Amino acid sequence: MNEAEELQKLEVMKKVVLKKVLTKEANERLGRIRLVKPEIANQLEMYLVQLYQSGKIPHALTDEQLKLILGQISTKQKFRILK
């Protein structure tokens, strides 16, 4: 299997998992995030897939829950450069 096929397989798996773990509103928010900040959306998607695979998502996440997760992810990315 070449790299392109593996990436395509990963994308299909992500879509299936995200459809299971996100409510309609949360999925719409993820779509808007993907338009503005694709790198954060990708990081969020991978995090959600990992949570799902480890069994830590018992039910579909609401928009509010997705916002909380997004807040946790975005605070980890902030940094300052000091002289």
Pick from 37, 3, 31: which is nearest to 15 by CA?
31
Instruction: Give the N- to C-terminal CA distance of the chain in Å, as an integer.
Output: 48
Give the pLDDT band of residue 83 (cuts 50, 70, 90): low
Per-residue pLDDT, 78: 55
pLDDT of residue 10 exceeding 90: no
Q: What is the pLDDT of residues 24-80, one digit of tens each?
A: 999 999 999 999 999 999 999 999 999 999 999 989 999 999 999 998 887 765 555
Length of the chain as a residue count: 83
DSSP H helical segments within the chain, as ranges? 3-21, 24-36, 38-53, 63-77
**How many angstroms separate the CA atoms of 1 and 8, rounded?**
11
Higher pLDDT, 77 or 17: 17
